[in-house]
C-alpha cells in the first residue's frame, strides 16, 4: 500500500478557507489552465470560466453575494458557469456544414445525371437553383430533425455542474499547492437573474459558483470535519447504530464549539447541530427561483 502520508503535497489535507489576501499579484493564466485541464464528463468540457477584473462589476457581484470576502480589493475573482450553449452552437454549426455538403452532393449528382441525358438547360437551371439556396434555409433544414434535448436536459445540466465544480476544485487545489489560498462563493446565487444579466450570459448557461484566490494575509485554524463514522460508508450508506450515531454527533458538537470559542478573530458560541437547525430558517434570497431561472435559460428540467 502506498504511504500517502509521505507524499510531498499535503495541501488537500491542510485546506483552509482564506478570506483575506495580500495586495500581491498572482499567476492568473496558470490557474486558468489548471481549471481547463480538469477531467470532464464525456469530454464535452461544459463550463466557462469568467475572470472578473472590472471593479464596478466586482462591486455589483459583491452586492449580490453579501459576502465580506468581496468587500476587499485584493484577490482574483472567478465565476464558474455551466455552459451547454457552446456545445449547441458547435453541433448546429457542424450540422449546417453537413447539410451544405449534402446539398452540394445532391446537386452534383443531378448535374451529372442531366449531362448524361443531354438536358443541358435543366442542368444549368438546377445548378443555379442550388447555388441560390439561402444559407439560413440550409441551416433550418439541418436543424429541423436535430433536437438539442441532450444538451438541455438534467443529464446535460448536471454534467456541466460536475465540470464546473471539478474545475474550481482543480484551480483551488493547484493554488493551495503553490502557497495561495481561496474561498468558494456559493453566495453568488443570491440573485441568479441579476448575475446572469451582469455577466451577459446567453441561454443554456448558468453561473454555479464563484472562487476568489490570492496570497493569504492570515492563517486561520482548520475547521473540524464531521467524523468518518458519519460520512464514509463501505459498500453502502454508513451503517451506524442509534447510540453510536448520537454519541458521534454530540462529540462533534463539542469539537465545533471548542473551535469557534477559540477562533481568532470572531469567536462565537456555536455547535454544528445549532448551525444545521438555523439553516432551516435562513434567508434563501432568490434561490427558490433557481428552477424557474434554469428553465428561462433553456434547460428542460421537468
106-159: pLDDT as tens digits: 555 555 545 555 555 555 555 555 555 555 555 555 554 557 889 999 999 999
Last residue of a domain, one of 126, 150, 174: 150
pLDDT of residue 2: 34
Cβ burial of 57 (10 Å; 0-12, 13-18, 19+) is: middle
Last residue of a domain, one of 118, 150, 182: 150
User: What distance in Å separates the CA atoms of residue 47 and residue 86, rounded to the nearest whole number?
Assistant: 9
79 found inside a domain: no
158 found inside a domain: no
142 found inside a domain: yes
Strand residues in the chain grouped as ranges (E)? 47-52, 76-83, 181-185, 205-214
234 found inside a domain: yes
Q: What is the largest CA-CA distance in the chain?
A: 96
Cβ burial of 38 (10 Å; 0-12, 13-18, 19+) is: buried
8 found inside a domain: no
In tens, the pLDDT along 29-77 reads 999 999 999 999 999 999 999 999 999 999 999 999 998 899 889 999 9
241 found inside a domain: yes
Query: In terms of residue numbers, what domain contains 241?
Result: 221-282
Count of domains observed in the chain? 2
- Single pTM value for the model: 0.82
127 found inside a domain: yes
Last residue of a domain, one of 106, 135, 150: 150
140 found inside a domain: yes
Amino acid at each position: 500500500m502506498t504511504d500517502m502520508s509521505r507524499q510531498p503535497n499535503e495541501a488537500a489535507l491542510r485546506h483552509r478557507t482564506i478570506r483575506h489576501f495580500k495586495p500581491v499579484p498572482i499567476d492568473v493564466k496558470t490557474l486558468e489552465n489548471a481549471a481547463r485541464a480538469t477531467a470532464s464528463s464525456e469530454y464535452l468540457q461544459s463550463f466557462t470560466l469568467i475572470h472578473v477584473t472590472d471593479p464596478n462589476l466586482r462591486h455589483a457581484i459583491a452586492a449580490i453575494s453579501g459576502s465580506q470576502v468581496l468587500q476587499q480589493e485584493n484577490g482574483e475573482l472567478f465565476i464558474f458557469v455551466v455552459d451547454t450553449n457552446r456545445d449547441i452552437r458547435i453541433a448546429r454549426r457542424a450540422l449546417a456544414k453537413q447539410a451544405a455538403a449534402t446539398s452540394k452532393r445532391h446537386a452534383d449528382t443531378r448535374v451529372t445525371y442531366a449531362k448524361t441525358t443531354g438536358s443541358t438547360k435543366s442542368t444549368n437551371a438546377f445548378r443555379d437553383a442550388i447555388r441560390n439556396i439561402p444559407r439560413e434555409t440550409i441551416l433550418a433544414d439541418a436543424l429541423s430533425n436535430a433536437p438539442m434535448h441532450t444538451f438541455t436536459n438534467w443529464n446535460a445540466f448536471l454534467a456541466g455542474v460536475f465540470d464546473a465544480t471539478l474545475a474550481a476544485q482543480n484551480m483551488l487545489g493547484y493554488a493551495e499547492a503553490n502557497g495561495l489560498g481561496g474561498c468558494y462563493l456559493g453566495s453568488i446565487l443570491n440573485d441568479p437573474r441579476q448575475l446572469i444579466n451582469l455577466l451577459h450570459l446567453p441561454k443554456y448557461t448558468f453561473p454555479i459558483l464563484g472562487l476568489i484566490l490570492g496570497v493569504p494575509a492570515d492563517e486561520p485554524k482548520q475547521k473540524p470535519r464531521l467524523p468518518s463514522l458519519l460520512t464514509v460508508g463501505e459498500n453502502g450508506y454508513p451503517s451506524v447504530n442509534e447510540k453510536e450515531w448520537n454519541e458521534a454527533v454530540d462529540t462533534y458538537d463539542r469539537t465545533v464549539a471548542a473551535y469557534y470559542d477559540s477562533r481568532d478573530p470572531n469567536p462565537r458560541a456555536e455547535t454544528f447541530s445549532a448551525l444545521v437547525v438555523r439553516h432551516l430558517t435562513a434567508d434563501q434570497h432568490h434561490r427558490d427561483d433557481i428552477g424557474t431561472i434554469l428553465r428561462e435559460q433553456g434547460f428542460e428540467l421537468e
